[in-house]
Chain A
Amino acid sequence: MTLSAVIPKHVEEALRTHRRGFLKSAGLLVVSFAVSAKNSAAAEPAGPYPDPDFRQLDSWIVIHENNTATFYVGKTDAGQGTGTGFRQLMSDELDIAFDKTTCVMGSTDITVDQGGSGGSTAMERDSWPMRRAAAEARRALLEMASGRLGAPVDQLAVSNALIQVKADPSKRVTYGELIAGKKFNVTLTGANVNAVTGAAKVKTVQELKYTGQSLERDDIPAKVDGSQKWVVGVKLPGMLHARNVKPPFAGAKLTGIDESSVRNLPGFIKVMSKGNYVAVVCEREEQAIGAARALKTTWEKPATAPFPASEDLFQHMRGAVPTSASDPIVMGDPDAAFSSAANVIEAEYEIPFQGHTSIAGAHAIADPSNGQMTVYSNDMKSYSMRTGVAAFLNMPRERVRVVYMQGPQCFGRSAAEDAACEAAWIAREIGRPVRMQWMRHEETAWDTKGPAFLVKTRGALDPAGRLVGYEYSARSCDYNHVGYNEHDTVLIAQLMGSRRAKPARGSSEVPSEVYAIPNRRMAGEVVSLPLIWETPLRTGNLRDPNGPQSTFAAESFIDELAAAAKTDPLEFRMNMLTASTADDAGFRRARSIAVLKAAAKAYGWDPRPSPKPLGKGNILIGRGIAYSFRGQTVVAQIAEVEVNRQTGHVWAKRLVCAHDCGLIVNPESLRRTVECATLHGLSRAIHEEVRFDTEKVTSVDWVSHPTLRHADVPERIDVVFVNGDPNPNRSDLRPFGAGEAALKPMLAAIANAIYDATGVRIRRVPFRDARVLAALKAANV
């Protein structure tokens, strides 16, 4: 049997020069990594794999003989353009032409650990050490040039990786001539990777040249011409294919495996099983798929139902004893405000479990060659995957590495992590490289879920229609929320019997506006389902983990209050943002006002209370607005919808998003990300729900688990970028996160538009045709 001793050539090439298509089009020679100052993985295939030292400048930047640079960053990019953005920022700080740079991301043995992706932190937090490292490299190069050219640094000019003596430009030296083939050997300081810095200062916003430009994303050409190398395409010598056999009932106990049902199938290698975990391994992919289907297994159902059916979920949540509760946030005297109110409004909102439901099943390839474990994965958190796989296999961390490659979108804690541990375990047991991939039904049923929410709200209006008292009280079904790459909570570990003494407590966040409401009380509780372990309803971070749920309730309710006050919903919000309070220094308030104004202007908002007078025709048209913060990024969404009175069908005809995330690194790349997050929010508003009976998840494919489609797409989407900073031209304008924020207010914006069109308030997500039609009929619309 041949074991792969090195990363296969095509993968190696993809990793080293994955921006190759771009470099070629820029007329550049392909950088030869074999002769670079940095040790390539190819030169050290067998491990161990020590962590690249984030305090060494050489870990971040390599400058080549041909005066090009490669940036090594500890982030992953599943197509939101962060890699191109990092190149823009680092090219600016280094003073090198953007098209002479490339960026390597996310593989644990060659890039420093910046945590991969998550929390929309790419630009907000993680671009800073990159910028400071690039600025430090520029400083070090100027110092070297000073010695070489015999002139003090302050008499040198630098541009496009060329350093010249100001007084005599014929005295010049390129970065490549100064450093290629050598190391910087510059030690950076900083307590951790986020704090890493050299002696050099970063540039002011006004000095940045590439930052702020809509440069084309460098990953796109390979994704459209078919040359992209994906995890799913990795082929290793001797590689086998594995498929899981999941329990047919949640919480079921495996009582028997009849291996004779598959033993004679072509290509059959082995049935792998431990505890309730079962997988089949075959020579070829289609053989593994067939064998997993054919394998006869017997299971014992749990004594009690693992969960209520999805139609009874909220009833269960109402009656459950909370597993945890946050301390309420109290301002003013809400009880007094309610007792003296002119009008008290109450409402309750329901948001079901929603899944990641990636376009492809989770997958990973694991190679156990040479006593190491190399995992090829698209997981956005490759670094913690390395730690998790090592702990799961009880291997020294140094013997494990994760090679990050492209794959289907993760949007948080997806099942990519489960697939990696499964592939690694089977590979080690069998002693050959193994490719694991989940099938569609597994992915849709067993991927981690965004928690269901039940939210009760209460509002006190004074005689003038002002909101003087507000209560928000949420329950999330989020107990035992799984974290990233935890060796004891990945699904295979749970199925093998691993039980953490204390499950993660989960979270139930409160809304994130800055309305001036003098008296308020906000609190969140977490509740559990009966089955805690080995459940397909395990929760995990999904793009803005609590935000769409809490904001659906909060911003729907603000609309209900505006309607009760017979006030235009935009004006009602504005009144609460322009009112003076002591709880905000002004930064968030100013930016909230700016995005709401910008959205209203772009849409052409016509001030009037909702709902509008009911139309006569079959199609009812209305508009709704919602706004929220995620971190320091503030978003206002306006939706114009058509509601079909006969069918209940909702079409968002027009969407306007006003978005302030501070410094914009690449406007067109950001625009795409915001458009897609907006449409992801639309999909979650009108389609997505995890359905289950009292034994199993029943939404298992694209028919039983609908998603947004081409026909749902608005006629027009306007994304308006806003800089509402009180000092907009500040030289230290910071970038804030943008991967998730636009999604957050979408569910409420759609619900508010449906109300405006029909006068019917839908308080249960998603707004599928049947639900909307039933609500219209109940209201005689």
Chain B
Amino acid sequence: MSNITIKVNGGTHTLNIDPATPLLYILRNDIGLEGPRFGCGLGQCGACTVIINGAAVRSCILPVSSVKGEITTLEGLSSNGKLHPLQQAWIDEQVPQCGFCQNGQIMTAKAMLDKVPHPSDAQIRESMNSTLCRCMTYYRIQAAIKRAAKAMA
């Protein structure tokens, strides 16, 4: 156990914790954030995705001691009560079914759009390809990403 300090969505948290603990469990169980979720624990599905230093990161396999930089979760995307354009596009396209994976879809899309503001269809497919949805909402996710890209232009 050791004291570890992490920054999440503008706040700072110091925890006495096993430094090998994957970040996901700390975000969920110690800080009380429900955006990132456990899907596979293997870094294969993306349900646990958070953004660190602009990159979409799979928090289920990231030891908390390796976190360098501020963490943004789904809860941290909106600002001043206004939804991020991606979140709004998700509502406008009525994307989710069960919604369990959508954290990963939105956060992965956010990291992509921050780097590539006007992605081609092929770029969307490639960037999103390792983020899985078992309700199969992919078609609407891709439409929502295009809609958000337009809104952000």
Contact = CB atoms under 8 A, between A and B. Distances in A.
Given A440-B42, A713-B142, A359 B100 contact: yes
A683 to B, nearest CB: 6
Interface in B36-78: 37-42, 44-45, 47, 73-75, 77-78
Interface stretch (A104-112, A485-493, A547-555, A700-708): A700-708
Given A224-B87, A669-B94, A79 B135 contact: yes
A99 interface: no
Contacts of A669: 94
SS of B interface (majority)? loop
Contact of A220 (B35, B73, B95, B133): B95
Nearest to B90: A224
A276 interface: no
A228 B100 CA distance: 10
A216 B94 CA distance: 7
Contacts of A233: 28, 34
A220 B88 CA distance: 10
B98 A406 contact: yes
Contacts of B129: 709-711
Contact of A440 (B32, B40, B138): B40
Nearest to A10: B32
Nearest to A230: B34
Contacts of A284: 25, 29
Given A79-B135, A407-B100, A409-B135, A702 B94 contact: no
A227 B87 CA distance: 12
Contact of B139 (A221, A668, A675, A701): A675
Nearest to A655: B139
Interface residues of B, number: 59
Given A226-B33, A226-B34, A672 B41 contact: no
Contacts of B90: 220, 224
A122 to B, nearest CB: 14
Contact of A226 (B73, B100, B126, B140): B73
Interface string A708-742: 11111111010000000000000000000000000
Interface string B76-118: 0110000100010011001111111111001000000000000
Contact of B22 (A286, A361, A406, A713): A286
Interface of A: 78-80, 216-217, 219-221, 223-230, 232-233, 235, 266, 284-286, 289, 357-361, 406-409, 437, 439-440, 668-669, 672-673, 675-680, 682-683, 701-703, 707-715, 717
13 contacts: A224-B106, A226-B75, A229-B34, A359-B132, A406-B100, A407-B98, A409-B98, A679-B136, A679-B138, A702-B132, A709-B129, A709-B132, A713-B138
The 8 closest A-B CB pairs, nearest first, are: A223-B99, A79-B97, A679-B136, A226-B75, A226-B74, A226-B35, A440-B40, A408-B100
Interface of B: 1, 18, 21-22, 25, 28-29, 32-35, 37-42, 44-45, 47, 73-75, 77-78, 83, 87, 90-91, 94-103, 106, 121, 124-126, 128-142
